[in-house]
Amino acid sequence: MSGDRPTAAMRQVSWAWVGLIALAAAAILIPLMFGGVAQLNLLVLVLLYSSLAQAWNILGGFAGQVSLGNAAFFGIGAYTSTMMLIEWNLSPWLGMIAGAVLAAVFAVIIGYPVFRLGGHYFAIATIALGEIMLIMFANWGFVGGAVGLSIPFIRGEDRRPADSWLFMQFNLNREGYLIIGIALAALVTVIAILIQRSKIGYYLRAIKNDELAARTLGVNVLRYKLIAIVISAALTAMLGTFYAQYLLFIDPETTMRLELSVLIALVAILGGVGTVAGPLIGAAVLIPLSELTRSALGGAGNTLDLVLYGGLIIIISVFQPNGLVALTRRGGKGRSTALPTDRQEAMAEEAPLLGGGDGR
């Protein structure tokens, strides 16, 4: 809102690069050092959720349009490539592009009416949208209905599952998934940075802070919201294709359930809404936390792992309401002792969720 915006943005960008490079280095080095497939699985999940949260962030963070239906785009990507693979034996790489295009078209069709809803009503409409997609796919026999779709293994001559770059399947050397995961995460992050630095990024933040003011200043609000949702949807759909190839089985529950939409938003919000580094940090903390608590305690069957996981999320959100990324902005003071007005100021500057500028 004031003159220091550009420098703030630039500062964020450089931090994001530091975070990204550190994450990429860790992602490459750790499996090389320890070579475990389970660690690789964890890293792929971290990369996947950080990318999903980053794609969500373009719409939910930059433009302030909190979507709780991003799993619908994810599902479209997963189903498009899988159907193309099963029906016509087309490479998932083509399916990934087709899924992205389809999700973008779908985003425009639904974005047009839904963006007329303001604030919380937009979030509610996206929940309904995700649920409609879930029920539709669960009852649509052509795409497997509630039973789901299995992607057949690429098999070598000895009948054992094999690797194929063309069909995006890595059964022997799982590193292939890691490489694609890193590439996708880099792609999504670079796009987020470019948007953040470009004219679009400023327009989106203007829309988030005060839609009416942005309109008065000549910003075509609907058009830029549509741009944001199209980019967000297309990237999310590409990740959906990757996930389908990773899991080799999809059903509506796995790809489209509300919980997934919420988790995507949660990673971005806990990490830091509206920042490029936020989703990366959020995923790097949240996903290992979930996997660690479950692997350590889940087998006991007393759900202590879920209690612990939930408790840690509550602790983070209480002490870091602006996300973990805010730790980097307040000189490490996790718990702000500033006066309420100062805190509000800081919150509005850093991460006004749901149009944080409204109250001022």
Partner 1 sequence: MLRRRLSLVGLLIVIALVMPLTLFSRPVVAQDSAACPEGSTGSSDGPVRIGVILPLSGSLASVGGDERAALELAAQIANDDMADLALPLAAGAGLPNLGGAEVELVFADSQGRAEVGQSEAQRLIDQEGVVALFGAYQSAVTKTASAVAERSGIPFVNGASSSPDLTEQGYIYFFRTSPHDINFSQSIFDYLELLASDHGAEINGISLFYEDTDFGVNSAAAETAEAEARGMPLAGEVRYRANATSLTSEVQALQGQDANILIPSSYTTDSILLMQTARNLGYLPDVIVAQDAGFVDPAFLDAIGADAEGVASRAAFSIDIADVKPAAGAVNDLYRQMAGKDLYDVPARGFTGMNVLLDAINRACSTDPELIRQALIDTNLSADDTIMPWNGVQFDETGQNTLGTGIIVQFQDGEYRTVFPTEFAVAEPVYPLEPWDDR
In the complex, which residues of this chain contact partner 1 (CB under 8 A)? 15, 18-19, 22, 26, 30, 34, 36-39, 41-43, 45-46, 138-139, 141, 145-148, 150, 152-153, 155, 159-161, 171-172, 247-249, 251, 253-254, 281, 284-285, 288-289, 291-292, 294-296, 298-301, 303, 305-306, 324, 327-332
95 to each of 85, 86, 223, 242, 306, how far by Cα in Å? Answer: 8, 11, 27, 10, 35
Query: Closest Cα to residue 343, out of 355, 354, 329?
Result: 329
Distances (CA, A) of 43 to 23, 36, 38, 193, 354: 10, 11, 9, 22, 31
| CB 152 to partner 1: min, Å | 7
Reduced to 3 states (helix: H, G, I; strand: E, B; else coil), residue 303 is coil
Query: 218 or 301, CB closer to partner 1?
Result: 301
233 burial (CB, 10 Å; 0-12 / 13-18 / 19+) is buried
Comparing CB distances to partner 1, the nearer of 278 and 352 is: 278
Report yes or no: 123 and 66 within 8 Å, Cβ to Cβ. Answer: yes
- Residue 153 beta carbon to partner 1: minimum distance, rounded to whole angstroms: 7
Record the tokens describing residue 8, joined without a space. Answer: 């703030």
Choice between 215 and 294, CB closer to partner 1: 294
Give the residue with the Cβ less far from partner 1, 121 or 140. 140
Question: Measured from the CB atom, is 200 or 237 closer to partner 1?
Answer: 237
250: β partners: 149
Phi and psi torsions of 251, nearest 5°: -145, 165
Minimum separation from the CB atom of position 12 to partner 1 (A): 11
CB of 316 to partner 1, least distance (A): 12
Q: Tell me the closest approach of the beta carbon of residue 161 to partner 1, in angstroms.
A: 4
Which residue, 139, 135, 164, is CA-closest to 151?
Answer: 164
| Residue 107 and residue 73 in contact, taking contact as beta carbons nearer than 8 Å | yes
Q: Which is nearer to partner 1, 254 or 336 (CB)?
A: 254
Q: Which is nearer to partner 1, 198 or 295 (CB)?
A: 295
**Min. distance of Cβ 140 from partner 1 in angstroms?**
11
Which C-beta is closer to partner 1: that of 122 or that of 177?
177
Q: Shortest gap between Cβ of 181 and partner 1 (angstroms)? A: 15
Tokens of 234: 């297309």
Question: CA 231, 236, 237 angle in degrees (round to 5)?
Answer: 100
CA distance 34 to 70: 34
Burial class (CB in 10 A: 0-12, 13-18, 19+), 218: exposed
Sequence-ordered list of residues with C-beta below 8 angstroms from that of 89, at least 6 positions apart, any chain: none
Residue 107 or 285 having the CB closest to partner 1: 285
For residue 174, the minimal CB distance to partner 1 (Å) is: 9
- For the bound state, the minimum distance from the C-beta of residue 22 to partner 1, rounded and expressed in Å, comes to 5
